[in-house]
Structure 1
Amino acid sequence: MTPQDRALRLGRRRRRSTPSTTRLFSAGVLLLLVALSCCTLPSLPGGASRAAVRLARAEEIVATDEWIEVGPNDTIPAGLHVRIDMTTGKKMVKTLDESEMTDFDKKRMGVPVTDVEVDADGTATVIEEEGAGAAAAWSSSGGSRGVALSASDSSSVSGAADGEGGKEEKKKGEGKDDYDYEMMHRTLSNLPADEMAKYGGLPELPAGLGTPRVTPEQREMFEGKMQEIWKQRQELLQEIQENNVADVAQVIMGRIRVIAEYMDDPVGKRNEIEDAAAAARDGSQGDGSAPDLDDDDDHPAFVNNVLESLEDLEYQLSDVDMARDFHTLGGWPLAVSLLSDSAHCPSSHPAGVDDDDDGADFNETAAALEAARHECLSELASSSSSTRALVDRIQSRAAWAVGTAVKNHDEFHNWALEDFSALLGMSGIAGGGSASDERARSSVTATSLLLADYLSDDPAAAALATPSRKSRRQKGLYALGALVRGNPAAQRHFLELDGPSILAESMDRSLEAGDARFASKVLALGHDLLTGAADPNAETAAGKEAGALIDALTSKPWCDAAVRLSASGPGISTQVREKALEAVTSLAGPCGYGEEERGSVVKSRVEWLGGGGEEDDYLDPAYRNDLVALADAALGAIDKGNEADAR
């Protein structure tokens, strides 16, 4: 809002009871502006005059308390609400109402006005009703707003923060104007009352600050209090910043150290976790005292054990730089190692003893360690043991951190292929195939460790019943998706490991166990990989490898699972059916669905048209229509595929 319009607005507020005077005042200001613009144009150079004329054609919008559209040649004054319609690009503006004003705005809007003078340079001076020797002025030329005092005479004074008047006042004040007290008051007024109570409360902003109506004593008292509060506040913010902005490398190294300590003594560290959990449940440590979870100065309470360290890491690794530092500092191999059961059992090699030492002590120690390791692995093989449940929780959080770290940037795609067989002392997924496949299977990567979790000889999938096991599989699938989505090299490795078949079998077992939700997530991953491989514009495994991936993801188990999940059944939600129908549409051509599969989709369509089950009866009509349209698209894709086969 220009100085003139602000003055007019202030004048209108003061003179509402005398409309004739207001109209005369408004007309006088407008005539004065026209006269000034006419007088100044001839003094400009030719090119500048034409520019000024063109500029004069733009009109400043007159805002109201209702939203109005800004025209192509309208200018927007300061102090208005502005919003943009992102669909049309149109701008709308309106004035602030009383509830939206700060104390600063209200004080300014309450300044009584008797006259306005406009200088040739465009500076407007607002003359107050009281105090003939005072003038409050806003400059329209400097781009910023200021208040200047003139106690020497009764003439109008124009003041601007960037103008000459402002500079002179700053010299007279000997640095006092280094503080913008009104800005400070406006900023602090936005803090909660209880926060300001620590400083004795926020002093009231004097009405007409910067005019003779405020005595020097009042001004000095106000400014002194504001300086005191402002200084204390800045010191507090500086202290908070120094105490809380930790070195990134130190944060990451602290988390890595906790994981390394766990891997050095996994059984002992798990016992500590279980003891701490038991003490927390009992509210004591056995001697009647409360558990001290923060007894390690190096690690705050929330990262005292591997579970909490991994949970915090998952949050930290969402930052690209943190993820990069985590890998550089050696954290990636440790996090990936936790995906293997082997890392959660004692090493069979005595620490600090050379392999060449064939003494009796070495043999005895090695035998004891081997027995302990065998016992640990046997316990982990039992899905009902407490050890298995705790390790599942650790592996779930490790998978979550791995997935979050690798999904953030293409730069990290190669991490999916790093081989940790030497670190873990184990080989990869067993199986036959080509020499290339055998090399891939013999390596131990994040991809192979995650896939190995879905290998099972138990067709009933009884292990899926435990909550910790479910969480581990879900987080593992999240990590696997992060590793292979949009990653051609990882997709090739995934194919060499027979990943599509492993996931298809896991999906089938999940459906048999009634876990349609997990099966749906597996199907969604396969659908994403299929869509990417079939996209000619996408970077994917080229040539025959892309074809092999498509063939693997359109095998009978994948085709059948999509249709099965699209039909109504126990534990199959409408959202699961919706995602499955999208997969059916993509799979229709290569799967060659027949009348049975088509009939299943038709049945779903009929249900959504109004003859369905209890859940479908409560669907939003618009959503129901979307589902019917999706079923129609699937039927069209099935018919199109059958026509192509017939030809």
Structure 2
Amino acid sequence: MTVAILALGILLILQSDLHQRPSSFLSFSDAKEIIATKEWQLLGVNDTVPAGLHLRMDMTTGEKWAKIMDDDDDEEDDDEQKEQEQNELYYNDDTKINSERRKESASAVAVIEGDEATKIQDSKHNSSEIKYDFDMMHRTLSKLPDEEKESIGLPELPQPNDDESSKISFQRSMVDIWKLRQERLARTSESMVNFPEVLKARIASIEEYLKDPKTQLISMNLEDDESSSNGNVVTHIVSALKDLEFQLTDLDLARDFHTMGGWPFLVQLVSDESHVPSGNKTINELSPNIQRNIRTVQAYAAWAIGTAVKNTEEFFSYSIEKIVVGDGQITTPIELLIDSFCKEYNDSNSLEIRTLLSKNIYAIGSILRGNIPAQIRVVKTNGFDKLGKKYNELSKEGFNSINTKLIQRLAVLSIYIFEDSTDTNIVDAITSSDFCDATCGVLSSENFLPVSVVETVLKAFTVLGPHCQQSSCAVNDFQSIIESIRSDWLKRKEDFDGDHFKEILDVANEALKSIRGDESGNEL
């Protein structure tokens, strides 16, 4: 009886939504059995599939995909099976906790002790625990799109010679990310909501904030989100933006949000002027708590913008739409994001500024990859000059965790943009002296850098190096630096996995080839 009522409820929701979203759902008369191939196919709501296909569900959007099984799927299936088992909790007597008990276990905490496996202890059932397979978890999450990995902050695998605190920090981060992914999956699969009404509510929240930011900034308590046991409760503008970002992971909802007029309001939140009315104090003159709140609002607005566009060609034009901010200043989303990222902040090491910079570069990358009109706009507004100077500044500030991540993302972004473009103006802008000097500065640093960061910057140099005409580093300097890096890796050969060692040597060899302008990388 319960199942029948639930099925009827779902049917009524789908039928109601058909009238509002004809492009998103198929009617029952359109049901068909797909013609299976070895390529992944997106399944419609009422599509049926032949027996024996490989099926997959997108954990972010809820979309279902299918293809014919092949030999290459065996390893992937093993990972998926492990992932499924990883999400099951067991009592010490091997009795599986049912789905209701699993919901209760949301208050579980991680206990990490030295080299032991991380255990999740349930505050209500102290006898229950989960042992995480971190290699499998990282391998599974590494298959996500680049922008999604950036969004969740997927850390690099620790190196064999890393100290114990680094390994523990990695494990804690993986536990947090894993729990977040499971919560998102649960929200996707369990909640049946009226999405247009949710979007209307989020747009209304942003409009209300923009009308009177001062009142909300004073009353806002960012700890409300952290202490709330219900992640769906919207207590202030930041929690509204977090929920909006989740909704915008769906392409249809991202399109609807723009159609419903929410885009200009969201973009305005990136601008300083939207939070401090004209004639009043600047943000730096406000109290530390108000500054913290403003930077946090800007960070999560940038996050939502990046997720809405996320390298989707249909939405590329959103990034260069004209937006009015402050006292009538006309600008575009990509210009606002670059200005916010490249601005000088009083406390650049504070958590809120580090979060703001991280979310900004995520949004900038989501917009610019493959988006030639946006890249041309950035050239015309000197945006690449600003990014190059910021890249250069970061390379001189030292290599704390946040700087290292920002440097790596800028290097990756420069590769994408260079490979995208045939426009000489864009190529010249992305190979400016600042970009090239920053690359040289990172590679020649005596500070310890993770191998993955050096590898990424070397890849960027391989692409940009031959076009760096104005760098303070001479060709011989670059060559000497790269040879020194390669020599160091050879001395530490035993620290690397065999396949990875070959990969990083190939990267070094390609970098040498690019600077010599020949095919003689002295490969080893």
Alignment-derived partner of residue 631 in structure 1 = 508
1:587 is the counterpart of 2:468: no
Alignment-derived partner of residue 487 in structure 1 = 371
**How many residues are paired up?**
343
Alignment RMSD: 3.6
Alignment-derived partner of residue 326 in structure 2 = 424
Give CA deviations for 1:355-396 in whole Å, capped at 9, x if unaligned.
Answer: xxxxxxxxxxxxxxx4xxx12x2xx12598222211111111
Give CA deviations for 1:423-447 in whole Å, capped at 9, x if unaligned.
Answer: 53243xxxxxxxxxxxxxxx31101
Alignment-derived partner of residue 419 in structure 2 = 531
Alignment-derived partner of residue 250 in structure 1 = 197
1:275-424 matches, within 5 Å, as 277=223, 302-346=233-277, 370=279, 374-375=280-281, 377=282, 380-381=283-284, 385-407=288-310, 409-421=312-324, 423-424=325-326
The answer to whether the 8 A contact 2:372-2:421 is kept is no
The answer to whether the 8 A contact 2:486-2:508 is kept is yes
Alignment-derived partner of residue 598 in structure 1 = 479
- Alpha-carbon shift at residue 405 of structure 1 (Å): 0.5
The answer to whether the 8 A contact 2:370-2:416 is kept is no
Q: Distance in 2 between matches of 1:642 and 1:280?
A: 55
1:447 is the counterpart of 2:334: yes
**Residue 193 and residue 415 in structure 1: after superposition, are their counterparts in 2 closer, same or farther (change >3 A)?**
closer
What amino acid is aligned across from residue 404 of structure 2 in structure 1?
A
**Residue 595 and residue 85 in structure 1: after superposition, are their counterparts in 2 closer, same or farther (change >3 A)?**
same
**Residue 587 and residue 256 in structure 1: after superposition, are their counterparts in 2 closer, same or farther (change >3 A)?**
same
What amino acid is aligned across from residue 326 of structure 1 in structure 2?
F
- Alpha-carbon shift at residue 337 of structure 1 (Å): 0.2
**Residue 561 and residue 85 in structure 1: after superposition, are their counterparts in 2 closer, same or farther (change >3 A)?**
same
**Residue 250 and residue 565 in structure 1: after superposition, are their counterparts in 2 closer, same or farther (change >3 A)?**
same
Q: Distance in 1 between matches of 2:315 and 2:226?
A: 39
Q: Distance in 1 between matches of 2:208 and 2:500?
A: 52
Alignment-derived partner of residue 34 in structure 1 = none
Q: Distance in 1 between matches of 2:456 and 2:209?
A: 40
1:535-614 matches, within 5 Å, as 546-567=423-444, 569-570=446-447, 572-591=449-468, 594-610=475-491
Give CA deviations for 1:577-601 in whole Å, capped at 9, x if unaligned.
Answer: 0001111111232126511110000
The answer to whether the 8 A contact 1:426-1:444 is kept is no
Alignment-derived partner of residue 468 in structure 1 = 352
Quick check: which has more Rg, 1 or 2? 1
The answer to whether the 8 A contact 1:566-1:578 is kept is no
What amino acid is aligned across from residue 449 of structure 2 in structure 1?
I
The answer to whether the 8 A contact 1:338-1:395 is kept is yes
**Residue 445 and residue 601 in structure 1: after superposition, are their counterparts in 2 closer, same or farther (change >3 A)?**
same
Q: Distance in 2 between matches of 1:344 and 1:524?
A: 32
**Residue 408 and residue 562 in structure 1: after superposition, are their counterparts in 2 closer, same or farther (change >3 A)?**
closer
Helix, strand or coil for the counterpart of 1:508?
Answer: helix
Alignment-derived partner of residue 268 in structure 1 = 215
Helix, strand or coil for the counterpart of 1:529?
Answer: helix
Give me the identity figure in percent.
Answer: 27
Give CA deviations for 1:248-267 in whole Å, capped at 9, x if unaligned.
Answer: 21010111111111111111
**Residue 569 and residue 521 in structure 1: after superposition, are their counterparts in 2 closer, same or farther (change >3 A)?**
farther
**Residue 408 and residue 452 in structure 1: after superposition, are their counterparts in 2 closer, same or farther (change >3 A)?**
closer
Alignment-derived partner of residue 496 in structure 1 = 380
Q: Distance in 2 between matches of 1:301 and 1:407?
A: 23
The answer to whether the 8 A contact 1:418-1:445 is kept is yes
**Residue 548 and residue 315 in structure 1: after superposition, are their counterparts in 2 closer, same or farther (change >3 A)?**
same
**Residue 194 and residue 277 in structure 1: after superposition, are their counterparts in 2 closer, same or farther (change >3 A)?**
closer
Alignment-derived partner of residue 175 in structure 1 = none
Give CA deviations for 1:333-368 in whole Å, capped at 9, x if unaligned.
Answer: 11100000111124x5xxxxxxxxxxxxxxxxxxxx
Q: Distance in 1 between matches of 2:272 and 2:519?
A: 47
1:68-147 matches, within 5 Å, as 84-87=69-72
What amino acid is aligned across from residue 335 of structure 1 in structure 2?
L
Q: Distance in 2 between matches of 1:637 and 1:336?
A: 40
- Alpha-carbon shift at residue 401 of structure 1 (Å): 0.3
Alignment-derived partner of residue 126 in structure 2 = none
**Residue 491 and residue 383 in structure 1: after superposition, are their counterparts in 2 closer, same or farther (change >3 A)?**
farther
Q: Distance in 2 between matches of 1:588 and 1:342?
A: 39
Structure 2: gaps of 5 or more residues = 1-50, 55-67, 75-95, 102-186
What amino acid is aligned across from residue 379 of structure 2 in structure 1?
L
Q: Distance in 2 between matches of 1:526 and 1:85?
A: 36
Alignment-derived partner of residue 430 in structure 1 = none
**Residue 279 and residue 636 in structure 1: after superposition, are their counterparts in 2 closer, same or farther (change >3 A)?**
closer
Q: Distance in 1 between matches of 2:99 and 2:195?
A: 35
**Residue 261 and residue 493 in structure 1: after superposition, are their counterparts in 2 closer, same or farther (change >3 A)?**
same
Q: Distance in 2 between matches of 1:261 and 1:571?
A: 47
The answer to whether the 8 A contact 1:399-1:475 is kept is yes
- Alpha-carbon shift at residue 617 of structure 1 (Å): 6.3
1:509 is the counterpart of 2:396: no
Helix, strand or coil for the counterpart of 2:515?
Answer: helix
**Residue 280 and residue 445 in structure 1: after superposition, are their counterparts in 2 closer, same or farther (change >3 A)?**
closer
Using CA pairs under 8 Å that are at least 6 residues apart, name the structure with larger relative contact order, 1 or 2: 2
**Residue 382 and residue 579 in structure 1: after superposition, are their counterparts in 2 closer, same or farther (change >3 A)?**
farther
- Alpha-carbon shift at residue 317 of structure 1 (Å): 0.3
Give CA deviations for 1:132-181 in whole Å, capped at 9, x if unaligned.
Answer: xxxxxxxxxxxxxxxxxxxxxxxxxxxxxxxxxxxxxxxxxxxxxxxxxx
**Residue 472 and residue 193 in structure 1: after superposition, are their counterparts in 2 closer, same or farther (change >3 A)?**
closer
